[in-house]
């Protein structure tokens, strides 16, 4: 079954070497798969000009920028005012990705916390959604998001959600969204699929996180935005929906959260 032209890849990295070398072909394949909009994510603020240029050069491509938690210890600390200034660009649609990663960089937890809170304040001031990366940091992530939300609300998506049910419950309770990546198609991801099946349908997005985490049947290969269609297809029976319904649902949810990129 072909997917309708309503799919959105809510998180990809088009500036990464694996994709930028053949960017026009990557975008064309996405369009052929029914993916009409993409958000390309800048993970180091010094790369923002090149990521912005990609968005400017391609219709339907938007961008977000921030400091990835794994880079927080080796990059200058982001400033709220600088992030707010980036939001003046009409194709700048989100703040991040930011968050906590204790899998590879637990030793920099302190600066990750500080960086995350700066990005949260920029999200508050701009009204643009915060894009969260969380790995092996469920308890601290739930605590920080709850503390900060109590101090002032902000929109947010838990990108490439692979955490446990407790963090999902916290995030959903704060009004946040969960984004489904290719990991959810892996046979070993039954518990993760159960989290998505139990989540409110109006809080789910789909993404590739390309060039990483290709869904089945492409696992182990370079990922690209076109493959978000495979994730949508694989999630259809999990959600009790048809593939075209998953596409329409996640696109509508994307429009509600990423208002600047709404179709």
CA distance 135 to 100: 6
CA distance 252 to 244: 12
CA distance 31 to 23: 12
Q: Which residues contact 47 (CB under 8 A, 6 or more apart)?
A: 15
Q: Is 68 annotated as a binding residue?
A: no
Q: Is 133 annotated as a binding residue?
A: yes
- Residue 220 has what DSSP assignment? T
Query: Contact at 8 Å (CB) between 247 and 6?
Result: yes
Q: Is 209 annotated as a binding residue?
A: yes
CA distance 27 to 136: 32
Q: Is 159 annotated as a binding residue?
A: yes
Query: Contact at 8 Å (CB) between 97 and 64?
Result: yes
Q: Is 119 annotated as a binding residue?
A: no
CA distance 152 to 87: 19
Q: Is 11 annotated as a binding residue?
A: yes
Handedness of CA 24, 262, 78, 98 (dihedral sign): negative
Q: Which residues are annotated as a binding site for a divalent metal cation?
A: 11, 13, 97, 133, 159, 209
Q: Which residues are annotated as a binding site?
A: 11, 13, 97, 133, 159, 209
């Amino acid at each position: 079954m072909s997917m309708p032209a309503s799919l959105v890849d809510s998180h990809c990295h088009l500036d990464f070497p694996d994709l930028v070398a053949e960017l026009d072909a990557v975008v064309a394949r996405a369009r052929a798969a029914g993916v009409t909009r993409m958000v390309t994510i800048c993970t180091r603020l010094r790369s923002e000009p090149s990521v912005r240029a990609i968005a400017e050069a391609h219709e339907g491509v938007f961008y977000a920028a921030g400091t990835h938690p794994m880079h927080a210890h080796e990059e200058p600390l982001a400033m709220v005012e600088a992030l707010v200034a980036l939001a003046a660009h009409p194709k700048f649609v989100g703040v991040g990705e930011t968050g906590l990663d204790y899998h590879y960089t637990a030793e920099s937890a302190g600066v990750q916390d500080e960086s995350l809170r700066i990005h949260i304040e920029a999200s508050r001031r701009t009204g643009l959604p915060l894009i969260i990366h969380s790995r092996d940091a469920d308890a601290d992530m739930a605590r920080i998001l709850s503390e900060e939300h109590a101090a002032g609300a902000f929109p947010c998506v838990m990108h490439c959600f692979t955490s446990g049910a407790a963090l999902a419950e916290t995030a959903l309770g704060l009004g946040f969204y969960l984004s489904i990546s290719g990991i959810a198609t892996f046979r070993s991801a039954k518990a993760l699929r159960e989290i998505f099946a139990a989540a409110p349908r109006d809080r789910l997005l789909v993404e590739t996180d390309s060039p990483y985490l290709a869904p089945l049947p492409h696992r182990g290969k370079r990922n690209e935005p076109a493959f978000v269609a495979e994730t949508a297809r694989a999630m259809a029976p999990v959600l009790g929906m048809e593939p075209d319904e998953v596409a329409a649902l996640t696109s509508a949810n994307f429009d509600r959260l990423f208002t600047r990129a709404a179709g």
